Amino acid sequence: MLDVPIYGRIATLELFRPHGETQDLLFIATERYKFCVLQWDAETSELITRAMGDVSDRIGRPTDNGQVVYCQCFHCVLIIGIIDPDCRLIGLHLYDGLFKVIPFDNKGQLKEAFNIRLEELQVLDIKFLYGCLKPTIVVLYQDNKDARHVKTYEVSLKDKDFVEGPWSQNNLDNGAALLIPVPPPLCGVLIIGEETIVYCSANAFKAIPIKPSITRAYGRVDADGSRYLLGDYNGLLQLLVITHEREKVTGLKIELLGDTSIASTISYLDNAVVFIGSSYGDSQLIKLNMQPDAKGSYVEVLERYVNLGPIVDFCVVDLERQGQGQVVTCSGAYKDGSLRVVRNGIGINEQASVELQGIKGMWSLRSSTDDPFDTFLVVSFISETRILAMNLEDELEETEIEGFYSEVQTLFCHDAVYNQLVQVTSSSVRLVSSITRELKNEWAAPSGYSINVATANATQVLLATGGGHLVYLEIGDGVLTEVKHAQLEYDVSCLDINPIGENPNYSHLAAVGMWTDISVQIFSLPDLNLITREPLGGEIIPRSVLLCAFEGISYLLCALGDGHLLNFLLNTSTGELTDRKKISLGTQPITLRTFSSKSTTHVFAASDRPTVIYSSNKKMLYSNVNLKEVSHMCPFNSAAFPDSLAIAKEGELTIGTIDDIQKLHIRSILLGEHARRICHQEQSRTFAICSIKYNQSGGDESEMHLIRLLDDQTFDIVSTYSLDTFEYGCSILSCSFSDDSSVYYCVGTAYGRILVFMVEDGKLQLVAEKETKGAVYSLNAFNGKLLAAINQKIQLYKWMLRDDGSRELQSECGHHGHILALYVQTRGDFIVVGDLMKSISLLIYKHEEGAIEERARDYNANWMSAVEILDDDIYLGAENSFNIFTVRKNSEGATDEERGRLDVVGEYHLGEFINRFRHGSLVMRLPDSDVGQIPTAIFGSVNGVIGVIASLPHEQYVFLEKLQTSLRKVIKGVGGLSHEQWRSFNNEKKTVEAKNFLDGDLIESFLDLNRSKMDEISKQMGVSVEELCKRVEELTRLH
């Protein structure tokens, strides 16, 4: 329904209903201690902020496990029906030893929050209990001997303190980690452990043993709280039942239902349909069946929702060799591990192709009006027209339509009513029977005039001759009637009468593009009255016009000779054109054609940068087609190639089907094991991955560490090398060495080994092995040698030929001085190291001395998660508080001290934990376009986000920063959260305003604004809306 950007990492999301409200409110707390209460206004479809605030404390140790926020809104008064205005509150556990309370007043308004001291320091879970007269929490905690207990407290709002609660329970399961409060009439709490499940209340205690497992999520099935779904770390789904007689709990029962993705959340919807939210695999919609299937599972997966997270590693490759990158990620965790191939743009899946040079136009025709399929493909050349058709063997072969002129170029063709076909050439319009293929009627151009451009639909023909003559014909059964003629001021460059009204065979409007005055004009039909004239501005003539309608909105598209596209909203009754927008698609003239895919109409813009124009949520979108250059396209829906397109490109005619019309395409290769590192080898056309396979057989759990070789097209596993038990593969690299033409895969392990493999006959062959003193966190190809990061050291290895002809890695030199050198990138002789906790340092390799020395470092204490070199002087880093930053080499510094320091130039809170940066781009880059010059890096994050960081030229940065500032005033943060605060660099040590980074998502949301808001920003900036749209659209083409 709606995708709502929240300026924060969401720590808690709770629905609740304060007294007196008719609908639920949504409580959201962020990891940076902001919270808001949102209300959905169905009338205006807006989210309204009911309350917000800051729940941080100046002093306090954030709770362990990163930052877990426990919150619940106390409902008991509503459930047991006693309206006691004193006992309604929101509770939060944010810092060790403190419990924060936000009370409600009797009108349901929030009051000032206060803290209560909580004696238990190692809290594992806190929940409110149902059915108590006073708000009561139950706390699961661990004592300093690591034993686990639960305890209850009543919250006294008057004294702002805890009072000992009604019961407690000591010495629970050592793995107890989750509390489930049970609603009335049973009340009490379920304590989920690793080996037992316990039901506990003031007057009952029931326990059952379970198979050892870690429960990650639960979902309540019934309102009375007698059944719960539990999801464990292996993705097993179980049903827990509280058996009871009247309102007295008699025992617990548990039953295995089946397998799902490893659940992070479980929401029982209705009718045995459950949503499994997963952060380790795809989320799922499942149905719980009454009867088990053949495998004994009650679970039936109805739908999957793609989740790329956690992205542990990825690589950028050009698998189709089309100059466009695809990202292949190591996604998911444990048994939900997978590889995902993420591709931008729309692919064409070639079915057939034939070499044909010099195509000037293409049209498909049916052999009778009611035939569902196309039979003929008319291909026009400069001095002839050829007709192709499917033969009985489903091959495309040349045929003839006798009534057509085939010795000249065809200007336009179309199916016409009454089983007829229309062909327009420079001298005449021919009407031909599609059954007998014979000429039935012909309209000849007046002598001395030749037809320059023409268009037609099933009942109408519009053409223009030299001298600005516009002629309108109508098609009858065997007759062509000249209905109207108009003399225009200038010559016509393009025209269109695509029917977008109610009648699919007849258009009331004609769009005409003009030479000389560079305008587009709208005429009414049949009388050819000029109703709108729209000057286009500039000197580039319109080359293609198209009337089209998306999602009930009519548009006029007008493509110029320089690769720009203008679009207007078209009022079909008045012919008025409004909301002009201009974008750049490519650099060559564009030809526009409509086509259908899955019964929706889209527009294909053929050019040097072929693009599909479509509409989603009433917004026009542009998606690249993954082809280099297309001169012409026409839909060709034949029986042998249904729903296909005929595409003329680079001396070739191709018939192919088109992908689903959407921007990103994701292919999933489910591995059933956890892929942790990946790299691609062009020469062997393979991927190699380091993965962990978890085995659970008969309660015994073991893991196997594997190096897998996969075919880069089929993703089949073609070879496997087993590492030792507990030998994690930490790094993998495809490289070659000096004085050796072979290409190798190198693998570094946590065990202290570097393994060198060769791919021979599709198999991994171990050719060398080198022991290291520590875990090999990173491997890089470096000056024909191998550079490894081993614990606190950077080590360079030479590839040496031994006397017996075999090869070995031989240590050359190294550099000490890191806590743990985790991430390494190189450029020339420079080495950039991301340290576990000492930020970024820059090393240099000195050839003459055969030594690696430190050149400079960033003295901040950033805990790094990824680094990348953006250019000679600027290095990009990501750290574990979800920030990114850039540092600059200071070669011109006056003193050694200055030169030895990497200056922090950019800082930004991304809100994502980045595991990897890679150079590359998901879009095809045209070297001669503006965006082709902008270098980009791609990142992958734990939450499954793939993002692009583009290095903008200074002028563009300044412009977009101004736009961002204006947008912050117009687009408000949901819940009153501030964009500026959200993007400020923030870690344990400091919070500073973001600098030298811009939020592309915010800037691109300019295109979603309505016209008046765009005008507002245009006024603030002093830049036209058209220019703003164009520059933001350009930005969207970077990804």
Partner 1 sequence: MQKMTPTTYQPTHNRTVPPPDQVITTESKNILLRHIYQRAEEKLRPKRAASEHLLPEHGCKQLRASVQDTPY
Give me the least distance between CB of 802 and partner 1, in Å please: 58
Q: Which of 109, 436, 810, 933 binds partner 1 (CB under 8 A)?
A: 109
Residue 43 binds partner 1 (CB under 8 A)? no
- Residues in contact with partner 1, counted by CB under 8 A, come to a total of 55
**Applying CB under 8 A, does 767 fall inside the site for partner 1?**
no
Distance CA 401, CA 489 (A): 37
Determine, following the binding rule CB under 8 A, whether residue 47 of this chain makes contact with partner 1.
Answer: yes
User: 114, 205, 490, 859: which one contacts partner 1 (CB under 8 A)?
Assistant: 114
Site for partner 1 in 660-679 (CB under 8 A): 660-662
In this structure, the strands spanning 178-181 and 439-444 are unpaired
- Applying CB under 8 A, which of residues 25, 28, 29, 55 lies at the interface with partner 1? 55
Angle, helices 954-970 vs 1025-1036, to 10°: value is: 110
719 closest CA partner among 688, 741, 678? 688
DSSP-assigned states of every residue in 348-385: EEEEEEEE-----EEEEE-SSTT-SS--EEEEE-SS-E
Nearer to partner 1, 114 or 490 (CB): 114
Using CB under 8 A, which residues numbered 176 to 215 contact partner 1? none
Interface pick for partner 1 out of 21, 24, 54, 489 (rule CB under 8 A): 54
To partner 1, the closest distance from the beta carbon of 633 in angstroms equals: 20
Instruction: Compute the radius of gyration of the chain from its Cα atoms.
Output: 34
Nearer to partner 1, 173 or 659 (CB): 659
Output 32 or 753, the one with its CB closest to partner 1. Answer: 32
- Taking the complex as a whole, how short is the minimal distance between the CB of residue 549 and partner 1, in angstroms? 16
The answer to whether residue 108 forms part of the interface with partner 1 (CB under 8 A) is no
**Is residue 600 involved in binding partner 1 (CB under 8 A)?**
yes
Quote the DSSP letter at residue 995. B
Binding flag, residue 69, partner 1 (CB under 8 A): no
Closest contact distance (angstroms) between CB of 1014 and partner 1 is 11
881: Cα separation from own chain's centroid? 22
Token pair of 541, please? 């003539």
Please report, for residues 255, 313, 338, 654, the alpha-carbon distance to residue 308 in angstroms, rounded to integers and kept in the order given.
31, 11, 9, 33
Angle at 406 between CA 400 and CA 410, to 5 degrees: 115
User: By the 8 A CB rule, do 71 and 126 touch?
Assistant: no
**Least Cβ distance, residue 332 to partner 1 (angstroms):** 21
DSSP string, 909-967: E-SS-EEEEEE--SS---TTSSGGGS-EEEEEETTS-EEEEE---HHHHHHHHHHHHHH
Distance of CA 523 to the CA centre of its chain: 43
Contact flag: residue 3 with partner 1 (CB under 8 A): yes
Burial class (CB in 10 A: 0-12, 13-18, 19+), 767: middle
Residue number, 5 or 535, with CB nearest to partner 1: 5
How far apart CA 243 and CA 227 sit, in angstroms, is 9
The DSSP letter of residue 263 is: P
Token pair 């000490």 is found at 816
Least distance (Å) between residue 693 CB and partner 1 = 33
Using CB under 8 A, pick the residue from 145, 321, 598, 847 that binds partner 1. Answer: 598
Nearer to partner 1, 103 or 188 (CB): 103
The residues pairing with 155 across neighbouring beta strands, listed in sequence order, are 162
741 or 1010: CB nearest partner 1: 1010
353 binds partner 1 (CB under 8 A): no
Query: Is residue 159 within the footprint of partner 1 (CB under 8 A)?
Result: yes
Would you count residue 1008 as binding partner 1 (CB under 8 A)?
A: yes
306 binds partner 1 (CB under 8 A): no
Pick 352 or 666: Cβ nearer partner 1: 666
Smallest distance from the beta carbon of 93 to partner 1, in angstroms?
A: 14
**Can residue 847 be called a binding residue for partner 1 (CB under 8 A)?**
no
With respect to partner 1, which residue has the nearer C-beta, 391 or 616? 616
Q: Which is nearer to partner 1, 1 or 294 (CB)?
A: 1
Identified binder of partner 1 from the candidate list 73, 77, 89, 116, rule CB under 8 A = 116
277 touches partner 1 by CB under 8 A: no
302 touching partner 1, by CB under 8 A: no
Among 562, 976, 995, 1023, binds partner 1 (CB under 8 A): 976
At CA 539, angle to CA 538 and CA 540, rounded to 5?
100
Given candidates 12, 27, 32, 50, which one binds partner 1 under the rule CB under 8 A? Answer: 50
> How far, in Å, CA of 352 to CA of 572, rounded?
40
Q: Which residues pair with 348 in a beta bridge?
A: 658
Closest distance of CB 936 from partner 1, Å: 22
The closest of 95, 4, 97, 105 to 56, measured between CA atoms, is: 95
Least separation in angstroms between residue 599's CB and partner 1 is 9
Give whichever of 51 and 960 is closer to partner 1, judged by the CB atom.
51
Tell me which of 160, 253, 533, 1011 binds partner 1, using CB under 8 A: 160
Considering beta carbons, is residue 235 or 975 the nearer one to partner 1?
A: 975
Contacts to partner 1 from residues 71-100, by CB under 8 A: 98, 100
113 interacts with partner 1 by CB under 8 A: yes
Q: How far is the CB of 73 from partner 1 (least distance, A)?
A: 14
Say whether residue 891 binds partner 1 (CB under 8 A). Answer: no
Please select the residue that binds partner 1; options are 616, 722, 806, 965, rule is CB under 8 A: 616
d(CA 510, CA 541): 18
Q: Is 726 in the site for partner 1 (CB under 8 A)?
A: no
Among 254, 479, 569, 1009, which residue interacts with partner 1 (rule: CB under 8 A)? Answer: 1009
Q: Which of 207, 246, 211, 249 is nearest to 232 (CA)?
A: 211
824 vs 748: CA distance, rounded Å? 13
Per-residue x/- marks for partner 1, 450-489, CB under 8 A? ----------------------------------------
DSSP state of 437: -
Q: 455 has which bridge partners? A: 462
638 in the Ramachandran plot: left (φ > 0), alpha (ψ -120 to 50) or beta?
Answer: beta
301 makes contact with partner 1 (CB under 8 A): no
* 112 is an interface residue for partner 1 by CB under 8 A: yes
Read off the DSSP letter of residue 900: T
| Residue spans of alpha helices (H) in 662-714 | none
From residue 23 to residue 42, the character string flagging contacts with partner 1 as x (rule: CB under 8 A) and all else as - is: ------------xxx---x-
- Does position 771 interact with partner 1 (CB under 8 A)? The reply is no
Residue 1005 sits in the site that holds partner 1 (CB under 8 A): yes
Q: By the 8 A CB rule, do 501 and 541 touch? A: no
| Spatial CB neighbours of 494, under 8 Å, sequence gap ≥ 6 | 453, 512, 513, 542, 543, 544, 545
Distance CA 263, CA 462 (A): 61
How many residues are given for the chain?
A: 1039
Least distance (Å) between residue 1038 CB and partner 1: 18
Answer yes or no: are the C-beta atoms of 287 and 302 closer than 8 Å. yes
End-to-end CA distance of the chain: 24
Minimum CB–partner distance for residue 662 and partner 1 (Å): 7
117 is an interface residue for partner 1 by CB under 8 A: yes
The encoded tokens of residue 457 equal 């639909």
Q: Which residues contact 149 (CB under 8 A, 6 or more apart)?
A: 140, 141, 142, 143, 168, 169, 170, 171, 172
Tell me whether residue 98 or residue 750 sits nearer to partner 1 (CB atom): 98
Question: What's the distance, CA 309 to chain centroid?
Answer: 11
The residue ranges that bind partner 1 (CB under 8 A) are: 1-5, 35-37, 41, 44, 46-55, 57, 98, 100, 102, 109-117, 159-161, 598, 600, 616-617, 660-662, 970-976, 1005, 1008-1010, 1013
